[in-house]
Amino acid sequence: MRDLNYELKQLCHRNRDGSYGTQRDRERVLDRIANQLHELGYRHMGAVSLKSKHVERLVERWKVEGLAVGTIKNRMAELRWWAEKIGKQKVVARDNVHYGIGKRQYVTNVSKARELTSGDLSKISDPYTRLSLQLQAAFGLRREESIKIQPEWADRGDRLVLKDTWTKGGREREIPIRNEEQRRLLDEAKCLAGRGSLIPADKHYVEQLRRFEYQCAKAGTHRVHGHRHQYAQTRYREITGWAAPAAGGPRSKDLTAVQKAIDHEARLTISRELGHNREQIGGVYIGR
pLDDT at 110: 75
CA distance 147 to 129: 8
Beta strands in the chain (DSSP E): 159-162, 173-176
pLDDT at 14: 95
Residue-wise pLDDT tens digits, 76-107:
999 999 999 999 999 999 999 999 997 766 55
Torsion of CA 91, 22, 225, 31, to 10 degrees: 70
Q: What pTM was computed for the model? A: 0.72
pLDDT at 105: 60
Count other C-beta atoms under 10 Å from residue 208's C-beta: 21
CA distance 12 to 110: 35
pLDDT at 281: 77
Backbone dihedral region for residue 103 (phi beyond 0: left; psi -120 to 50: alpha; all else: beta): beta
Pick out the chain residues at pLDDT < 70: 104-108
pLDDT at 283: 83
CA distance 187 to 174: 18
